[in-house]
Amino acid sequence: MSLLQRILSSLGGKDPRKELEERELELLEANVSLTTIERLKESLEKGKSLKEALKEFLKEGRIEGSPVILLVGTNGSGKTTVLAKLSSWFMEKGTPVTAAAADTFRAGSIEQLEEWARKVGFELVKYHYGADPAAVAYEAVKRRKGAVIIDTAGRQETRGDLMRELQKIKKVVNPDLTLMVVDATQGVAALEQAKRFDEKVGVDGFIVTKLDVDEKGGLILSLAVETRKPIYFVSYGQTLDTFSPFSAEDYLNNLL
């Protein structure tokens, strides 16, 4: 049970607005940001139930057809693992996937994708370490047979040069979707990172990972409220099957 679940399940329900206010510190601890708490209180003031108030913020991102998807995010957030899981998801629906090993920076990243490509069966376009990531991504789009998923090196949102590199990839391949992979255990730091990535590169939505090891539970809600962007998928483990399209209903049923 996450901290947020514990807090919400112990609310008496008589005056939820007041209760939220009284338990603000605990909510912050559960990765529910201050802005998020304020917005929830406003909704409750308008007479909405807590479930309705939560639900109006949670948007489900849905993928149609065979898009070109650019995965971005900080180091270790789970981008490469998500690429494998998302490929498997597409392929189960009969859509072939061409992946681009555009993380040409981190040692071992290309081998990690080669291993996933063998397991999952997607086509992998790779160059060599130090190659221009935009060139790898471009090649994958050129050779595509279905969907394209582009892995990128992790980067801090404060590194201007690395953010410009993402802008370049985006300009060269013009992806249908830029999805940021966010580690739920990073808490409020992830929220700030998400805002910066969106400002600098433009993000269409999120894939939230490591929910299996997240003890707090509130990051999805805070991301949804503060960015107003949809959550596309959730990841909750290291195997291919621990990955699903985000369901607001499931998230809420789990919480309340």
Give yes or no for residue 2 binding Mg ion (CB under 5 A): no
Give the bridge partners for 98, in sequence order: 123, 148
Say which entry of Mg ion, ligand GDP, none residue 238 contacts (CB below 5 to 8 A, set by partner kind): ligand GDP
Positive or negative, the CA dihedral 33, 252, 64, 91 is positive
**Closest Cα partner for 6 from 246, 216, 219?**
216
List Cα–Cα distances, 210 to 16, 55, 171, 181, in angstroms: 30, 22, 30, 10
Site string for ligand GDP, 148-167 (x = CB under 6 A): ------x-------------
Give yes or no for residue 49 binding ligand GDP (CB under 6 A): no
Rounded CA-CA distance 95/123 in Å is 12
Nearer to ligand GDP, 27 or 150 (CB): 150
Min separation Cβ 91 and ligand GDP, Å: 18
Instruction: Report which residue's Cβ sits closest to Mg ion.
Output: 80
Nearer to Mg ion, 43 or 186 (CB): 186
Which of 9, 10, 156, 238 touches ligand GDP (CB under 6 A)? 238
**CB of 184 closer than 8 Å to CB of 190:** yes
Which of 78, 133, 205, 217 touches ligand GDP (CB under 6 A)? 78
Min separation Cβ 246 and ligand GDP, Å: 13
Give yes or no for residue 80 binding Mg ion (CB under 5 A): yes
Residue with tokens 């406003």: 42
What residues have CB less than 8 Å from 57, skipping those under 6 apart?
39, 221, 224, 225, 228
Where do contacts with Mg ion occur on this chain (CB under 5 A)? 79-80
Binding residues (CB under 6 A) for ligand GDP: these are 73, 75-81, 154, 181, 209-210, 212-213, 235-238
